[in-house]
Amino acid sequence: MAPPADALDLLWQHLGTERQEMSFQKLSGEITVTPGADAPVSMTRDERVHIGRRAVLDVLREVCEEAPELRSDWFAVSSEQ
């Protein structure tokens, strides 16, 4: 099933601006995330990115499980470029 045109707006309504020590901001066409806790300096950048993406994906799945009108496979999680 293809996502509706307002899928991002629906996600934003359920997500809010803060969840699990992460801050979310809706920009045109995307939602950005600012992590609340810094990863240990001893980790490589790739490890920190992987852990961060996994945490965001977990939140996304949780939100979509709570909202029957949302499906987590409608959304992509990417690292900052």
| Six-digit token string for 33 | 């995330």
Confidence at residue 40, expressed as pLDDT on a 0 to 100 scale? 65
How far apart (Å, rounded) are the C-alpha atoms in residues 78 and 32? 10
Look at the pTM and tell me if it is higher than 0.95. Answer: no
Per-10-residue mean pLDDT of the chain, 81 residues long, equals: 93 92 91 77 80 90 95 88 53
What pLDDT is recorded for position 23?
93
Q: What phi, psi does 23 have (nearest 5°)?
A: -105, 135
**CB under 8 A, 24+ apart: contacts of 15-20:** 15/59, 15/63, 19/59, 19/63, 20/55, 20/59
